A and B are shown apart, each in its own frame.
Chain A
């Protein structure tokens, strides 16, 4: 009898660990979507890469987005429109839907997705455990693209979190010659990509973020681990790529930059 119980226990453990070992599949976040979009037919296809959006806590700083937090800004329309571009313009095997990486409820899932996008990181509020996890993720070879944060205050909040992830690594301006700007498209000449507010305010910047920056953190081998699109809003450019009022030159750069970052993360 005890032998049978032991066998059963072993089988259950194996089954449980096998479940844990699998990569999470596409899941909808109804109620948290910023710009809902229909779920395409191939949403569940298994592919090499997809747009992995980081679901992070943003309680203390998430004034305007309330309970939902800032992580799903432009979600999921921006993600899916960018994915359509990646499919059309590159040979990356990708599905048409994003993957939400839930840092709050299923943090270890991030290790299955070596490229992750986080938006509005001027509002993130990471726990020590999450900082440690992100540090480990990046040191193993993960890549983090952050976007859509503007001005001094949001930068400070971002840096406050980032410095807990990497207390020992400086944030630097990425030089034009860095391969990250040349993997697919040569992006020596870049412009500030505005958010949708530009259509109403007619100004490219938000808050006091007048000058766009492409910053990053390098690893010990000179590879970019974290790419920061500061004072710009590539997410809006993807989200509103089908908006005739939003200028194509901004969309074009946002797509090219995003694709360069993705290809860079898959080659460096």
Chain B
């Protein structure tokens, strides 16, 4: 219809440039329209006879519009568009032959549907005007002679890499456009910006034809699992599982975590009516070493694709013992019971300094490692930054010098450590922290008045607390909530202000007759983490429950593990994806710091990678010119299995530290996921490059629209618009409408 009324397809209008070819100035056109309108208005005023004002105005508007349309046609409107010159350009046709294209949606595999579309008319149409080059692509684009007997056998889809390959050939031939037939199931997470930039620089339009349904009728898929890459030994970790389902709303499924085929955690969930939902599953990371956890849901009866129900995530349990410095300003039970709670934790060591009297500090440290604490709270960065976390108890703000206050702030901000603030007579607002740099790092606003009280109150989980691993005492979510509801009251608390943006409140304090206020809040701050636990009365969770009850120790263990698990050493290595599904490229990135956690630019950084076959490779990392203190390198993981990368950094003869990283290469899994059509990706690809998206049913239009392109060998054509049927239709409608109105009003 559009083409019938406007003479040309929409692509011409969206890509062309509008012109008036008469050579007469545009202002003259406007002037004549205004003059005609004014003349008609004057005439109407003089001779409107029996017509009322509104009717006269309607007639005047119709006559003016008619004159405007006619004048516009006289000015010779046209559109200038670049079009591929016939028989001089190449069109690349890429057919996806990854395994997902072998899925038979309506009894016919997608790749067969693509072949039929091409051979049934699209290809002959294109060949009439262009030279056509056929490619099949999965991991990369490979030239083929014809679109027949293609096999959906590649175990990955990399649309970006394949297009980059084609774009690379544009320098050797007049490539005018790309036609891409695919289900859009790209395994790399999208098309990278480089590829899009390159295509745009070449002005090469990519026209996409999408195959497959937008979703399966009955399927449950694990879209993603966010799990920590590192954990401490025997610590609980939580994984956030993103699930997409169609056709199973209301069904109950088991969310399972397995290691070596042994279930280690399970949770029953109900699939919601909304196709997308997220669930949290908590499990134990286990002993030291690299662990591969398979996380997913059990297959459901009637599911069309059961191979997308689970993914693998790696968790590296480091042999490191995290060290926390706890400074307490007065003897109190919380101090004793926190120490006891962590006594059996193999991953955390707490060195304590307690002000027992006005002049004495009792140090409970670990020999030489904490010898300096006898002299008081550290006042040098290199002494304080040896620790991974700090607990600040009931200590007045002015006990710390301004320099020490700045160090505590930098401990989280710059060093990346964790800082926990407890409530007390001399803590938080009562300790006059509100006007120190330390207040800025806290997740909660500090009231201006003193708010500490020794009233008993209940601690209740917030919605975030119900999902958090910090407050997870029972593995099962509902059992955990029930457990917290039975917890003894805390002995005291401080009323805190509202949470700051980015803070998460995990617990509230509820005292009868008072409004709930935040009790436990956490946030990331700078490179580190900060928490406020606005009580010193959690010791009652120990004293008022059976001596075998581990609620108190588990809570403290988990809170402090959260505080320090992510605290980096001087050398910190990372890679964007620890599990590589059908991919071999491993980018390595290492950050190197000195004892004060200042960046180190001139270090020698090497990574030794242990392969699954027992061999090893060494990669020398280069400084990143854009990010001082960061060193990068690349590794190719040829073989499937687990890899361990150990990085060392030296400067001159000084050892700056080491860090270990694990990653895993997997084969034959990528195509199991995202097997429905990724229409969004295909539409975005075509719109970003100036092409169009088609379905197989409307792909016939492609041959007519593909010629509009600025790539390859083009000619600029001026296409007349004055003879568009829409304009003549408009003239008839205006004149006819006026005549009909006049007849009705009796003034013909």
Contact = CB atoms under 8 A, between A and B. Distances in A.
A90 B357 contact: yes
Contact of B489 (A21, A47, A48, A49): A21
Interface in B535-570: 539-540, 542-547
Given A21-B488, A266-B332, A267-B331, A89 B357 contact: yes
B456 A48 contact: no
B254 interface: no
Interface residues of B, number: 36
A267 B336 contact: yes
B330 A91 contact: yes
A145 to B, nearest CB: 15
Given A21-B456, A183-B362, A184-B360, A141 B343 contact: no
Contacts of A114: 333, 336, 539, 543
B482 interface: no
A141 B340 contact: yes
Interface string A43-68: 00011110000000000000000000
A3 interface: no
Given A22-B456, A23-B456, A112 B543 contact: yes
B339 A267 contact: yes
A23 B537 CA distance: 12
B354 interface: yes
A139 B340 CA distance: 12
B634 to A, nearest CB: 50
Nearest to B491: A23
B364 interface: yes
Interface centre among A18, A92, A267 (most CB of B within 10 A): A267
B547 A140 contact: yes
Contact of B544 (A49, A111, A184, A266): A111
A266 B340 contact: no
B335 interface: yes
The listed residue with most B CB atoms (<10 A of its CB), out of A49, A136, A142, A263, is A263
A141 B542 contact: yes
Nearest to A22: B456
Interface in B334-352: 335-337, 339-340, 343, 352
B356 A263 contact: yes
A40 to B, nearest CB: 18
Given A92-B330, A111-B544, A141-B337, A267 B360 contact: no
B491 A91 contact: no
A169 interface: no
B362 A48 contact: no
Contacts of B360: 184
Nearest to A142: B543
A132 B491 CA distance: 25
B331 A139 contact: no
A90 B331 contact: yes
Nearest to A265: B336
Contacts of A48: 330-333, 454
A140 B542 contact: yes
B512 interface: yes
Contact of A136 (B329, B340, B540, B547): B547
Contact of A93 (B330, B335, B340): B330
A91 B343 contact: no
A267 B343 CA distance: 12
B459 to A, nearest CB: 13
Interface string B445-461: 00000000011100000
Contacts of B133: none
Nearest to A262: B331
Nearest to A14: B512
Contact of A267 (B354, B539, B542): B354
A134 B553 CA distance: 22
B358 interface: yes
A48 B537 CA distance: 10
Nearest to B343: A221
A144 B331 CA distance: 18
Interface string A13-53: 00000100111000000000000000000000011110000
Contact of B362 (A21, A23, A46, A267): A267
B425 interface: yes
Nearest to B548: A139
A93 B543 contact: no
B358 A91 contact: yes
A268 interface: yes
A10 B325 CA distance: 45
B331 A18 contact: no
A46 B536 CA distance: 14
B350 to A, nearest CB: 12
A91 B456 contact: no
Nearest to A113: B543
Interface string A88-110: 01111100000000000000000
Interface in B189-208: none
B331 A263 contact: yes
Given A48-B332, A91-B331, A266-B333, A184 B542 contact: no
Interface string B411-455: 000000000000001000000000000000000000000000011
A21 B491 CA distance: 10
Contacts of B329: 91
A111 B543 contact: yes
A134 B358 CA distance: 34
Contacts of A46: 454-455
B48 interface: no
Contacts of B622: none
B355 interface: yes
A111 B542 CA distance: 9
A155 to B, nearest CB: 28
A184 B362 contact: yes
A262 B354 CA distance: 14
B356 A183 contact: yes
Interface in A222-268: 262-263, 265-268
A111 B541 CA distance: 11
A139 B547 contact: yes
A33 to B, nearest CB: 27
B550 to A, nearest CB: 12
B331 A266 contact: yes
Contact of B355 (A47, A91, A183): A91
A18 B329 CA distance: 31
B357 A184 contact: yes
Interface in B464-517: 488-489, 491, 512
Which of A91, A114, A142 is the most central at the interface, judged by chain B CB atoms within 10 Å of its CB? A91
Interface string A114-158: 100000000000000000000010011110000000000000000
A221 B362 CA distance: 20
A257 B81 CA distance: 98
Interface string A148-183: 000000000000000000000000000000000001
Nearest to A139: B547
Nearest to B547: A139
B340 A263 contact: no
Contacts of A142: 543
B336 A266 contact: yes
Contacts of B546: 136, 140
Contacts of A90: 331, 356-357
A93 B332 CA distance: 8
Contacts of B545: 140
A93 B491 CA distance: 14
Contacts of A267: 331, 335-336, 339, 352, 354, 362, 364
Given A49-B331, A49-B333, 8 more contacts: A18-B512, A89-B357, A114-B543, A141-B336, A263-B356, A266-B333, A267-B362, A268-B336
State the 6 A-B residue pairs at the shortest beta-carbon distance, nearest first. Answer: A46-B454, A139-B547, A91-B330, A266-B331, A140-B547, A111-B543
Interface of B: 329-333, 335-337, 339-340, 343, 352, 354-358, 360, 362, 364, 425, 454-456, 488-489, 491, 512, 539-540, 542-547
9 contacts: A46-B455, A48-B331, A48-B332, A91-B330, A92-B330, A112-B491, A141-B336, A141-B340, A268-B336
